[in-house]
Amino acid sequence: MRILSNHAGHPAKWAMGAAMSLGLVATLAACGSSSAGGKVTHIQMAAQDFAEPRIDDWIVKDLIQAKTPVTVSISYTTGASGLLHTLLLKNSIQAYVGYDGTEFTGPLHQAYTGKWKGHPNAVSAYVVSQEQKKWGLWVSPSLGYQDTYALAVKSSVAKKYHLTTDAQVAKYAPHWTIGTDPTFQQRVGDGYKAFTAAYGLHFKSAKAMDYSLMYEALAQGSIQAAVAYSTDARLTKLHETPLKDSKHFFPPYHGIVIIQSKIVKEWHLNKVLAPLMGLITTKDQTQMNYDVEVLHQSPQTVAKNFLVKHGLIKS
């Protein structure tokens, strides 16, 4: 859900806009999936061009290729997440890794308010049922992790005060300055004002700042808390800990796999991919993002290492 590094959850990621990668559209429009005797033998995937979806697409690719005769290829785009959904409906691609919250607020045009607020499981179930009903798309259960807004503190502070949830910050908030991006402070219903009210947080002050500055500011102590992203590699790099949103204030942004149902049925991909469901913890995904973004390992290598570690493919 990282805005500045083209993350998936922010509503702006649904609008295709000028950032859409026209080259990718032109390339994929001609390829689609190859088939023999009506059975698909090749799957084209696509990912937004940052570490997390690249890694997860490779995890899905490698597992499918290890367990079926199907070949899988991946293309990358700087376009918004809505582009991937559009390409899927046009059969220019047949699968991608996305987020249930993005599908909910994007193509399904819902808002995390009213009956949905505080009920992330209902949101996830709605996405699964409606993607199938409207477009014949299979949506997997959660891969395990969430990439969403998260209140973060220095890991040393979390350890010192035994902080694990947002609610536990209330005791210390009056002495702390929190950092957020400017958009979060302005958002109505799911922004700073509503978030602090939901948890009874009364910070000494709130600073609006760019994400490129926020994580460093937290590490250096010029702010004591930050509204970060739960799988951001900088959390690992700078020894910062995301706390649990125990009241489910933010919409769910679970990593999910979306595939054309026809292909899932042909190759029983629901069973092939079943070992992945719930397997990738938020800590796992953050570490993998760190391996790519900070240690400069390739997404392919990181994905393979994860699958080998869990015994899903051979080294």
Give the separation between CA 282 and CA 255, rounded to whole angstroms.
Answer: 10
* CATH, domain 11-146+251-309, list 3.90.79.10, 3.40.50.1370, 3.40.190.10, 3.90.1150.10: 3.40.190.10
- Tell me the β-bridge partners of 288: none
Residue 261, SS3? helix
Distance of alpha carbon 84 from alpha carbon 93, whole angstroms = 8
List the chain domain ranges. 11-146+251-309, 149-242
- Tens-binned pLDDT, residue by residue, of the chain (315 aa): 543 333 434 433 433 333 344 345 445 544 555 555 678 999 999 998 889 999 999 999 999 999 999 999 999 987 777 889 999 999 999 999 999 999 999 999 999 989 999 999 999 999 999 999 999 999 999 999 999 999 999 999 999 999 999 999 999 999 999 999 988 888 877 889 999 999 999 999 999 999 889 999 999 999 999 999 999 999 999 999 999 999 999 989 999 999 999 999 999 999 999 999 999 999 999 999 999 999 999 999 999 999 999 999 998
Please say whether the structural domain 149-242 has been given the CATH code 3.40.50.261. no
For helices 282-293 and 299-309, what crossing angle results, to 10°?
140
CATH fold match for the domains 11-146+251-309 and 149-242: yes
| 172: helix, strand or coil | coil
The residue to which tokens 């859409």 are assigned: 20
CA proximity to 90, closest of 8, 147, 16, 18: 16
